[in-house]
Amino acid sequence: MGVSNNKSEFFSSPFYSDNNTLLILLFVDNRHSSRKNIEQIKSYLQTLSKDYHFDWRILEISEYPHLVEHFKLVATPALVKVNPPPQQTLAGNDLTAKLQKYWYKWQTSLQENHDIFQDSFDEDILLKTCLPSSELIRLRDDIFGLRTEVKQLKQILKFKEEMLAMLAHDLRSPLTAASIAVETIELAHKKTDSVPNERLYGKLFKHAKTQLSTMNTMITNLLQVSQDVNYQLNIVPVKVNLLNLCQDIINNLPSELKEQERSILQDIPQDLPEVYADSQLIRQVIINLLENAIKYSPISAPIILSIIHKTTPKVQISIIDEGSGIPDKQKKSIFQGGFRLQRDSNAEGYGIGLAFCQQIINAHYGQIWVDDNGNQGSCFRLTLPVYR
């Protein structure tokens, strides 16, 4: 038993010194009419403490107004059972009779609530040091809010880092394509004995200009991501012809992929409806999936790029390979930022390509997933909305 009338003593010692102890607070005032009732309940508490160990405190309400506010006391004297939870308050003139009524229940509730009690106090260190006042409650709410903001900020920064890495990585494709176009023009120009092919030059210039424009867009995105901590993926959807887009992607694959002489089979109907999408971002998704298919497939194995109008509002794109496949347990994990399969643990890269692809497709209100390609390989599928 601990009886304290000293305010500094009350707050200097740990309030919840023993989580397994019944804790009762007796709030009193200085009114003459209350003295008899207070003395009766004090005497009864002292009698109970001889047969059962519990902790109780006497608190003058004028010294602890914040606790009166916290426990929402409207009358004194009052008894407040603080531990074990739930909190319970008894008030009125006949406190002794009321305590007799609840005493057995309070004793047994300590054991019944032990596990819940232990967990709740482990989560909140403030409650282990002193009684929660209105100020502490406000501070606790502020801390919770700050923790939430920190968590959100970490997620934003992580997304920003992934975007920067992915955009920097994807700059290589248009840079390589533009370089090849310029080098081809330069080689043709050096051949003094050849007749200038204005049609070829025009086509190469147009191609180089397109790739440079793509690079300019990506660099703009890089600058925006680096300067804006709250940057979110922003799509600009337009009417897109997937047949033309896919043919352009295959015709302009990076040279290191073309040198492998991989066969990419297209199964795209001529009457395929246009989709409502950001053409540049969808281009990045398809290139990323094709690069992965080529990277993990045998040289002699073809890659299949198939598109079907499966349902009225959606078009489904499939990229099928005959590589090593994806283990069933990791089919969802591969779309998480930073996740890498064991086969890629020593390979160059950021491990964010598929995560970025998923963010793009989700922003289009589509889906992306991976299935098995029979007994060998993978089939990555994604859906996009039909343009209406």
Cβ neighbours of residue 212 under 8 Å, at least 6 residues apart? 174, 178
The pTM for the full model equals: 0.48
Torsion of CA 304, 305, 311, 312, to 10 degrees: -160
% of the chain residues with pLDDT over 90: 17
Instruction: Please name the helix (run of DSSP H) or strand (run of DSSP E) that holds residue 91, with its range, or none.
Output: strand 88-91
More confident residue, 227 or 262: 262
Would you identify the CATH topology of the domain 133-232? Helix Hairpins (1.10.287)
Would you identify the CATH topology of the domain 235-388? Heat Shock Protein 90 (3.30.565)
Give the pLDDT confidence score for residue 272 in this predicted structure.
94
* Domain boundaries along the sequence of the chain: 7-132, 133-232, 235-388
| Spatial separation of the C-alpha atoms in residues 376 and 326, rounded to whole Å | 10
Determine which of 131-145, 193-207, 262-276, 368-382 has the lowest per-residue pLDDT on average: 131-145
More confident residue, 291 or 116: 291
Would you identify the CATH topology of the domain 7-132? Glutaredoxin (3.40.30)
Q: What is the pLDDT of residues 322-374, one digit of tens each?
A: 888 888 888 888 887 655 555 554 444 434 578 778 888 999 999 999 988 77
Bridge partners, residue 320, by sequence:
304, 379
Give the pLDDT confidence score for residue 20 in this predicted structure.
74
More confident residue, 190 or 1: 190
| Spatial separation of the C-alpha atoms in residues 331 and 335, rounded to whole Å | 8
Mean residue pLDDT across the chain: 77
Bridge partners, residue 11, by sequence:
none
